[in-house]
Every structure is written in structure tokens, then in C-alpha cells.
Chains A and B, each alone.
Chain A
Amino acid sequence: MAAPSAQREPNHAIRLGFTWLVLALAADLLIWFVLGPHLPPGGLASQADGQRFDIKVMAVMAAPVMIFVLLYFAYSLVVWRGREGDDDDGPPIGGNARIQTAWITVTSAIVLCLFGFGTYELYHSYGAGAGEGPSPIYNPPGAELTAAQQMAPWSPGKPVVVQVIGQQWRFTYRYPQFGGFETTYLALPRNQWVQFDVTSIDVIHSFWAYQLGVKADANPGVDNVAYTKPTQLGRITVRCAELCGLWHGAMFDYGQVMTLANFQSWAGASNAHFASVTKLLPPYATTYDPTEIPLFKLGKVVKALGLFGAGGGYYPPNDPSQP
């Protein structure tokens, strides 16, 4: 453009760049040191802590970008606003190859860094607490993926296996290593790896143990595995994070991270308390199909009534003939 006007004009780029640098640095320091330790979902478990770290890193990456764009917009709206009575057009700048190249390079670099970081974190944190399906590739040591392995009594060094069964509208928890009892209360030992085997016996639910940093969809017929390691004692809130029908909003319960000794005595007591109903449960498996009740569980009268599965099947022949 015309040289004289460039001399008269201030150097917008330097002004903007300097202001941006100061603001971005201040914002990043604030995020890292002041806001960071308070970011959700807290530090009750290793995975929650890892997610908090990720959110913190993302925020540190995002803040300079946001500040750059917002600062630029604010600056241009003030400095380059149309003056009253000036009906002329602006300078015809159709593009700038250097700026365009720089923009593409920088955004690509940021994106690739984020990808590398995210993948490392995913691997490093054994799946980051997210549901990994029936055969996860990111496992903590000692992970056990078959029903037979999971039913072996727990010994130190192995993950504590908790089967989460979603049903409308309640999660129940089954502890195969501690006698196979089922309960509505989620108790976990501190400083042990926990392996959640999440499944459903009706529609899709999502097991969201907020303070543990665990979220895994409960799909019928699927064993969805997620890992976490509670590191502090405290209360857990479990909510369903996938719309599952009428009372989805009220599908929540609580749990507790306790010391290993307390956990073991709790498990023993629960095993005794639920003994009468444990023997009625289907044999422990990674998934359940309640439309087919194992034949040996069926009594005489049920057979006489033609009831071979839980009610409300799909095809008429499979339905119980409601008397």
C-alpha cells in the first residue's frame, strides 16, 4: 500500500503482539497455578487427577488462542471502525501469503501437539477412565478379562473387579472376587487398581463415577471395561450419563473409597448379608441375557406356566403368557 500512510499509522502488529504476550502469559500463569488445582473432577482417583491435568493443559493451550482472537477483534472494532461520513471503501487487501502460511503452520502444529499429548495421556493413564470395550489395550498390570479369572479370590497386586450392572433405573455392583454378592452400594479400597466391568440388562446407560474420573456406557450384551485407582478416602457420586428412560434424572447413588482393611471387612459383611439372594443370582458372567433364564434355575411351576425368561420379550413366542 501507499508508503506515506504506513508511516503515519502506528504499527498495529507490534501493539497487538505485545499486548497479547502479556495477557496470554498472565492468563496461563493464573490457569496453571491458581485455577488449575481446583479444576474438576478433583483428585480422588488417579484417572480423575489425569483428567484434571488434561483439562488444565488444554486450558493453557486454549487461553492464548482465545485471547489472541478476542484481542484482535476488540482492537479492530475500535481502531478500524468506519468514521462518520466516510463512504469510501477500505484498502483492497485480498490476502497475504506469508500470514496465511504462518496461520496454517501454527494451527497445524497446535493440533498435532494436542493429538500427541492426548494419545500419550490415554495410553499412560490406562484408558483415562473411559470405557474401553471388552478387550482393552491399555491395561494396568494384572488386569483380568474373563469371567473365570475375575472369579478367583482377590489377592494384593490384582485389580479389584467390580461389575456394574445397569438396569432401569439403578446401578447394582457385583464383586466376583469377594464371593460374587451383588449390592447397591459402591465401596472401593484406596490405592488399589479397580477394574469396572460395565454392562446392562436392558437399555444403554452410562456409568459415571464423577470423583473417580470414570465414564463407561453400559450396553446390553457388552462388557465395557474401565480402570481407575482411588488415591484418597472420600465419597463418590454415581450418576447415569445416558438417557435411559423415565427416571434417568433420578438414577444416581453414592459410594465410598475406604481403606483396604475396611473394604475387606465391608466385603465380608456384605457377602454374609446378601448370602440368601446371592445364591439366586445367575452364575457370574461378563454379560447377562435375562431373556433366557438358565434351565437349572427354573422351578416346576414356572415351567408349567411357560415362563422361560424375564417378561416382556420381543417376539410373541418368547413372551411369558401373562396369565
Chain B
Amino acid sequence: MSLPVRVGTLLAGFLAVVGGVIFVVIHYLLAGPPTVDYSAGVTPDSGQTVSIMLQEDAQNTVTSHPDWVSYFIKDPKSHQWVHTTLFKVPAGTTIDVTILGYDGCTPLRNPFWGKVTGTAGDVENVNGTPVATLNSWGSCSVAHTFSIPSIGLNVPVASPTTLKENNSLCGTSPCTSGPHTTVTFSFKTPSAPGDYFWQCRVPCGLGYLDGFGGPMQTIGFMTGEMEVVS
């Protein structure tokens, strides 16, 4: 082969490789669900209160994994449910959380996580009633949990309790109707900015060993990050 052909082939190969690497990095390694911003217009450490709203669904009809359970977060501006588990909140601020539990009950792997910790008064309100501990083994009571380990927050999210309700859960996500519970609680964000991961402690990765694969380890389904900004 002549020199121009060799160099031309070389350059073409080089560009193809660089293009491929950039494509993989952008589309697979850097890709992720969007972040819902609750921090806009709020001054950190100013005593203001931020309200955030999540819902948990038994399945989702918006991804290629229809049988994975999933959280959704409500965008404060558009009031649309977003399929993500990433949200941004201001530092040193009280957060009022509302979680709509559209999923049925599953026992916890470790019943210890049935205790509410880290919220104001160490309680959550289930349909308006304050509750400090839920017994997921003894009764149909817990669907998932909302836990941020590094700030000691653990909230078992209550589920509909009757057999009838559990057998007629909403089938189109994000859910707007169907049997559900409304869980509310408040907690204070830490003053140090950073990413704080949160997770569910109910082994709800159906079909995965120990129930902790699939949605439990995929950001955008049952685990995510709370980004605290100052």
C-alpha cells in the first residue's frame, strides 16, 4: 500500500475510534435521569420550607423495564411527574415530604427499618395519623422505605392494608388513581452541600437474588441522590 493510503486508513480508523469512545461515554457512562430542582428561589439556611412530592408505583409504563417498581418525583414548576430519583434541595432547610404510596405491601428484609428515624419528632403521618413504627412482618403495612443513611433518615412508606386494595393497584404510571396511602413527614437538610444517596430498604427487586438487584440498584427507580446546594 502506498503512504497516502496507509495514512488515510490510519486517520479514518483513529476518527472512528474517537467517535465511538465519545458516543459510549456520552450515551452510556454519563447518561442518567434528570434532576428535579427544588432549590430555585430558596435561600439556604433561611428558615424557609420546601415541599417535595414523590410517588412509588408497583410497575412503570415509561421504561423498557415495565416490571420494575419505581419512584416518580413531581417537578415543582411544571407539576408533571418525572421518572427520576434525583432531586436538588437547599442546605439547612426544612423539607416537607409527601409520598404517595401506590404500591402494595412487602415484608422488610430487616424489620429494624420499620422504625421512623431522622424526621421531625421521629414520626411520619400515614393518611394524617402520626406513626412511629410499622410492623412489616406482622401485617400488610409497608410498601417501600425512603432512607437517607448518612443523615439518619429512615421512613417506611405505608402501603394499602387490605387484600382487596392490594389486588387492585393502579396499572399505569405515573399513577393518578387507585388505592394508595399518603405519607408525609419533615426533615432538615444538612448544612454541608453534597450528594446524599437515598434508597429503599424493602427488597423489591422482584426476580433478583435477595430482592436487591434491578430497580434497587438502578438510579431512577428505587434509589437516587439528594443533591444539597448552598
The reply on B197 being an interface residue by CB < 8 A is yes
What are the residues of chain A within 8 A of B219 when measuring CB–CB? Answer: 246
Looking at the assembled complex, report how far the CB atom of A207 sits from the nearest CB atom of chain B, in whole angstroms.
16
A201 to B150, CA, bound (A): 20
The reply on A16 being an interface residue by CB < 8 A is no
Looking at the assembled complex, report how far the CB atom of B140 sits from the nearest CB atom of chain A, in whole angstroms.
4
What are the residues of chain B within 8 A of A305 when measuring CB–CB? Answer: 104-105, 140, 163, 166
A304 to B104, CA, bound (A): 13
Interface-side segment among B18-26, B34-42, B76-84, B209-217: B209-217
B-facing mask of A299-317, CB < 8 A → 1, else 0? Answer: 1111011010111111010
- Is A323 in contact with B204, judged by CB distance below 8 angstroms? no
CB < 8 Å A-B pair total: 141
- Residue from A246, A307, A311 with most neighbouring chain B CB atoms (10 Å): A311
A contacts with B: majority SS: loop
The reply on A247 being an interface residue by CB < 8 A is yes
What are the residues of chain B within 8 A of A313 when measuring CB–CB? Answer: 211
- Is A276 in contact with B133, judged by CB distance below 8 angstroms? yes
Interface-side segment among A105-113, A162-170, A186-194: A162-170
Give the contacting residue for B111; candidates A220, A282, A309; CB below 8 A: A282
* Nearest-CB residue, chain A, relative to B132: A276
What are the residues of chain A within 8 A of B213 when measuring CB–CB? Answer: 312
- Is B206 in contact with A172, judged by CB distance below 8 angstroms? no
The reply on A184 being an interface residue by CB < 8 A is yes
Binding site for B on A (CB under 8 A): 165, 167-170, 172, 182, 184, 201-203, 220, 245-247, 250-251, 253, 274, 276-277, 280-282, 290, 293, 297-302, 304-305, 307, 309-314, 316, 319-320, 322-323
28 contacts between A and B (CB under 8 A): A168-B216, A169-B149, A170-B149, A201-B110, A202-B203, A246-B217, A246-B218, A247-B223, A250-B197, A277-B112, A280-B111, A280-B138, A281-B111, A290-B109, A290-B110, A293-B107, A300-B139, A301-B139, A302-B138, A304-B163, A305-B104, A310-B106, A312-B203, A312-B207, A312-B208, A322-B106, A323-B104, A323-B169
Binding site for A on B (CB under 8 A): 58, 104-112, 114-115, 132-133, 135, 137-140, 149-150, 152, 161-163, 166-167, 169, 197, 199, 201-213, 216-219, 223
12 further A-B pairs in the complex, CB-CB below 8 A; given A305-B105, A323-B169: A167-B109, A201-B210, A245-B212, A247-B199, A277-B111, A281-B111, A305-B104, A311-B204, A312-B211, A316-B207, A319-B207, A323-B166
